[in-house]
């Protein structure tokens, strides 16, 4: 058997395996995705799924729990959809080391959670992105048991993406898909400032 024939045979066997796996996936419902870890890309992935959902004509919601003191490219871009299928809420007041006011941070996080709860109970909302919610959970600004209860009770076809470092174990256990971003190298470590289009 020559190389081309071996390749075709390998790909045929691989296709059969993948087709069997696809055939076994018969459940059709909303999924809970958690993006966590210290590496870059958690929010970026969430906003990529938001773009994909809007492309399918979904009604979508975004609540940003920490970011808010500075403008980002994703906010500037996605605000264009606000008069239609997107409800976008920047509820944070900036990073906690900037605000230096725990009571204010808790109040902002709880106000953001109230908005998120409304989305998570709305059956017409197809996709909800809760950006940096994990940070609010880790710091105890939003009660974890309340978040888990609302996620469990959400409409069955609703997709939810939660981002941020340090996702609690209970949230990871509840999620359908969990990705941990790992730092291998970051420009910031070499003294390069946050760049528009990359971090901002």
Residue 98 confidence (pLDDT): 58
Range 115-130 burial, b when 16+ CB lie within 10 A, else e: bbeebbebeebbbbbb
Q: Are 167 and 178 in contact (CB under 8 A)?
A: yes
| Among the listed residues 162, 157, 154, 127, the one whose alpha carbon sits nearest the alpha carbon of residue 57 | 127
Residues 114-132: tens digit of each pLDDT: 999 999 999 999 999 999 9
Q: How confident is the model at residue 99 (pLDDT cuts 50, 70, 90)?
A: low
**Segment among 66-70, 88-92, 107-111, 128-132 with least mean pLDDT:** 66-70
- pLDDT tier at 70, thresholds 50, 70, 90: low
pTM for this prediction: 0.89
Q: Tell me which residue of 47, 39, 136 sits closest to 91, measured CA to CA.
A: 136
Q: At what angle do helices 144-153 and 102-120 cross, to 10 degrees?
A: 10
* pLDDT interval class at 190 (50, 70, 90): confident
Q: For residue 17, is pLDDT > 80?
A: yes
pLDDT confidence band for 41 (50 / 70 / 90): very high
In this model, does residue 186 exceed pLDDT 90? no
Instruction: Please report, rounded to a whole number, the percentage of residues in the chain having pLDDT higher than 70.
Output: 94
Q: What average pLDDT does the chain have?
A: 91
With 90 as the cut, is the pLDDT of residue 144 above it?
A: yes
Domain extents in the chain:
29-190
Strand 86-90 to strand 127-131: parallel, antiparallel, or no bridges (unpaired)? Answer: unpaired
CATH code of 29-190, in short, is 3.40.50.300
Say whether pLDDT at 45 is over 60.
yes
Q: How confident is the model at residue 139 (pLDDT cuts 50, 70, 90)?
A: very high
Residue 56's Cβ-side half-sphere holds a number of Cα atoms within 13 Å equal to: 10
Q: Once rounded to an integer, what is the mean pLDDT over residues 183-193? A: 86
């Amino acid at each position: 058997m020559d190389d081309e024939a071996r390749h075709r045979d390998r790909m045929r066997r691989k296709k059969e395996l993948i087709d069997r796996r696809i055939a076994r996936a018969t459940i059709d419902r909303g999924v809970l995705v958690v993006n966590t870890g210290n590496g870059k890309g958690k929010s970026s992935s969430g906003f990529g799924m938001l773009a994909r959902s809007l492309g399918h004509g979904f009604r979508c919601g975004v609540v940003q729990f920490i970011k808010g003191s500075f403008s980002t490219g994703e906010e500037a871009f996605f605000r264009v959809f606000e008069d239609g299928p997107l409800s976008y809420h920047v509820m944070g007041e900036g990073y906690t080391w900037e605000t230096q006011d725990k009571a204010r941070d808790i109040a902002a996080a709880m106000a953001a959670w109230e908005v998120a709860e409304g989305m998570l109970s709305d059956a017409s909302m197809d996709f909800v992105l809760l950006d940096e919610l994990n940070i609010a959970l880790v710091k105890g600004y939003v009660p974890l048991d309340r978040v888990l209860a609302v996620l469990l009770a959400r409409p069955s076809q609703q997709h939810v993406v939660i981002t941020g470092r340090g996702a609690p174990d209970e949230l990871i256990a509840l999620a359908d898909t969990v990705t941990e971003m790992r730092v291998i190298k970051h420009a910031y470590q070499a003294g390069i400032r946050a760049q528009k289009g990359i971090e901002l």
